């Protein structure tokens, strides 16, 4: 049932978009300051559907689950900082931006972006 398909970082992109669209949908439904829009709800439904299709056809390996959870939180905080930049009366976006930056560094570390490559000739 599970076939081996090379996905790359597609699940991570979907995790980030799910956090972004989820917060946008929540904000448009609950906040009176932000105008209502149907587009975040449509985008959230499409991201969830595509994420489910990836989940059903392939298996995530290694630290992809941790990285996906981190990028979901980064997407959630990214929209929070965007809304607070657009509407300053909601408060400062400093802590949300610092959270996004810390999560991005953590995800890069989990994915091995900071690991040094070994010389194969030596």
Residue 55 to residue 65: CA distance in whole angstroms:
11
Q: What is the pLDDT of residue 97?
A: 95
35-69 pLDDT tens trace: 999 999 999 999 999 999 988 888 777 788 899 99
58-116 pLDDT tens trace: 877 778 889 999 999 999 999 999 999 999 998 899 999 999 999 999 999 998 888 87
- Of 48, 80, 73, 63, residue with least CA distance to 9: 63
Q: What is the pLDDT of residue 5?
A: 53
Write out the H or E segment, with its range, that includes residue 68: helix 64-86
Domain boundary assignment for the chain: 10-111
Confidence of residue 2 (pLDDT cuts 50, 70, 90): very low
pTM, 2 dp: 0.85
Which of the 8 DSSP states describes residue 2?
-
Q: What is the pLDDT of residue 119?
A: 58
């Amino acid at each position: 049932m599970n076939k081996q398909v090379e996905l790359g970082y597609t699940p991570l992109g979907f995790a980030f978009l799910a956090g972004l669209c989820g917060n946008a949908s929540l904000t448009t439904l609950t906040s009176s300051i932000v105008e209502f829009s149907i587009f975040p709800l449509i985008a959230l439904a499409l991201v969830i559907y595509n994420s489910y299709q990836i989940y059903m056809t392939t298996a995530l390996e290694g630290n992809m689950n941790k990285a996906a959870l981190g990028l979901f939180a980064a997407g959630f905080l990214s929209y929070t900082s965007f809304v607070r930049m657009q509407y300053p009366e909601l408060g400062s976006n400093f802590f949300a931006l610092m959270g996004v930056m810390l999560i991005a560094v953590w995800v890069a570390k989990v994915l091995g972006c900071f690991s040094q490559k070994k010389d194969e000739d030596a």
